[in-house]
Structure 1
Amino acid sequence: MTEPVVLPDFNSFGDQALKGLESPEEATAATQALLKEDRNSGEPTVSNPGECHLTLERGVCREGTWYRDAEVKELTGADEEAIAAAGSSSYRVFETLLLRGVRTVGAEFMNRKLASELLIGDREFLVMAIRRATFGNDLEFEELPCPHCEELVDLTVPLDAIPFTHLDHPEQTEYDVPLRRGAVAVVRLPTGDDQAAVLAIKDGNAAKQDSEILGRCVLRVRDADGTVTRRPPATSLSMSDRKAILKFLADTQPGPRYGDFSFTHDTCGKEVPLPISLAVLFRGM
């Protein structure tokens, strides 16, 4: 029997792929013991699979019309083999999940180009929907040690309990970000294509990753005197302005906030952070 593929953590995607200067070390450290001691690491408990239809936050635009409806499917053994064949690359595994698990967005069948156009948050929402269609809505944990009182906890986490960020205006594609000295950066939200470019930087240089996403997503900067600089080099932006833009991109990106989930342990009354990873979502594959 082959060993199960260890799927990458969701921290490889979404916010953390965009914020090289900020990382969730504290929350992750607080819950490593929980995840390591999870006795229920085999086949997930399957409740009734969820609906296969969902509405994306942004979707895709075709000839001036936005299409936000999408359909996913339950993963099969053939899909599992394809995911295993993707190897250990975070990006390839995630892309394979989208290509195998999403049927359509609008009237268009899922393909690599379509996947690359979607907002990162829409992509992560689709993966959540694939998980729901395949294994049901609940994540079951047994005998997780509370990091505060060390009591073992049995926990059921509905996917609906994971924090979710919505777009106030789904069809808005440009945003103003106030900078220092009265300047304003006009930005767009990162897509799967931007995500791939960031993940392609292999040297672990977080500042270089920041520069990549800024260079792609900052459309122009308008100074206080009205001077407009289009596509300014990311390295020309001040550190404080870079950080402000990155924070805006991360905070505004819609979709599930897998790293922000926590629960209150009834016995000790303490809040316990429990980041949800891709490996947890598809446990047993």
Structure 2
Amino acid sequence: MTEPIVLPAFENFGDKAISGLETPEEAHAATQALLKDDRESGRPHIDGPGETQVTLERGIFRDGTWYRDAEVRELNGYDEEAIAAVGSGSAPHRVVETLLTRGVVSVGREQMTRKLAGELLIGDRELLIMAIRRATFGDTLEFERLPCSECGELVDLTVPLAAIPFVHLDDPEQTEYEVPLRKGRKALLRMPTGEDQEQVFNVRNNRAKQDSVILSRCVLRLVQEDGTEVHRPPAQSLNMGDRQTILQFLVDHQPGPRLADFTFTHETCGEEVKLPINLAVLFRGL
């Protein structure tokens, strides 16, 4: 298991990892910059379509049963136009939402809808995005004349999607997590979903308020040292240290692909080189 440092949200630019959950404005700017980038150097090539069946980490709970099976499909020209239209000037979560509602056929027994997409864990959404990419373009990314960030040499590189680091849930059916806090307190949490992430994107230019949004939605109970429980405590009432502890837990334990953490060893210089993979790289041209 890798040690992730940011919630992957498909917005990573250069050598800086950006969390779409934590810094949506930066994430949007990074994605737009990459989407507009028409450099020939480093442009990835993509092979033929892949499989369409996916097993999610959490899935959805219906009638006493967890459904983790999902089906995606290959994107076509209609989808490309729809995604490009949404992507122009929109927040990145709208692009992700459009990819999901058009590229995912079903989860369990349900057809994909915007509401269902919002219910899924962020990690499951990103797993589905990867599956849509695989179904549409194939299992590998090939880079030509990619500059090595360590020595500057131009590298030809093939990246299997399976090589991207991935975090699994220890127990897919666990929905509540206990996090120790300062002074004997503890918090009971749930993992953030697409709907939570959307609410974060609705807050602009205030990182602290964005943190408060995710905390207010994901902290279910606060247990004091004497055992007293506070249900849905106001996020602003938590001290700064506890807020950061909870946020870091959510980062570290969110399942799914860690696109910002991909590295490769450059044989010429022998260095481990970071190559963050993001939405713009996966779907170059959209």
| 2:258 paired with 1:247 | no
Task: Give the match's secondary structure for 2:179.
Answer: strand
Amino acid at match of 2:281: V
2:239 paired residue number: 238
Q: Deviations over 1:238-267 (max 9, x none)?
A: 111011100111111100011111111111
3-state secondary structure, aligned to 1:17 = coil
Q: Unpaired runs of 5+ in structure 2?
A: 1-8
- 2:60 counterpart residue number: 60
With normalisation by structure 1, the TM-score equals 0.87
Whether the 8 Å contact between 1:10 and 1:258 is mirrored in structure 2 is no
Match 1:17 to one of 7, 17, 20? 20
In the other structure, the counterpart of 2:193 is 191
Task: Report if aligned partners of 1:221, 1:230 keep a CA contact under 8 Å in 2.
Answer: yes
| Structure 1 residues 11 and 150: alpha-carbon distance in aligned structure 2, compared to 1, 3 A threshold | closer
Match of 1:5?
Answer: none
Q: Distance in 1 between matches of 2:78 and 2:172?
A: 35
CA distance in 2, matches of 1:180, 1:196: 30
- Structure 1 match to 2:137: 135
Aligned twin of 1:49: 49
* Residue correspondences, number: 264
SS in 2 for 1:100: helix
Contact 2:46 2:142 (C-alpha < 8 Å) held by counterparts: no
Q: Structure 1 segments of 4 or more deviating over 6 A?
A: none
The 1-side partners of 2:215 and 2:271 are apart by 38
Equivalence for 1:3: none
How many Å separate the matches in 2 of 1:18 and 1:273? 21
Matched residues in 2 for 1:232 and 1:211: separation? 11
SS at match of 1:67: strand
1:15, 1:182 → 2: CA distance?
Answer: 32
- For the aligned residues, what is the CA RMSD? 2.2
Distance change (3 Å), C-alpha of 1:283 and 1:59: same
Percent of pairs with identical residues? 62
List per-residue Cα deviations over 1:132-175 (Å, max 9, x = no partner).
00000111111111122111111111111111000010011000
Report the secondary structure of 2:45's partner residue: coil
What SS is found at the alignment partner of 1:16? coil
What's the CA shift for 1:19? 3.9
- The equivalent of 1:78 in structure 2 is 78
TM-score by length of 2: 0.87
Checking the alignment, whether the CA contact within 8 Å between 1:185 and 1:218 is kept in structure 2 is yes
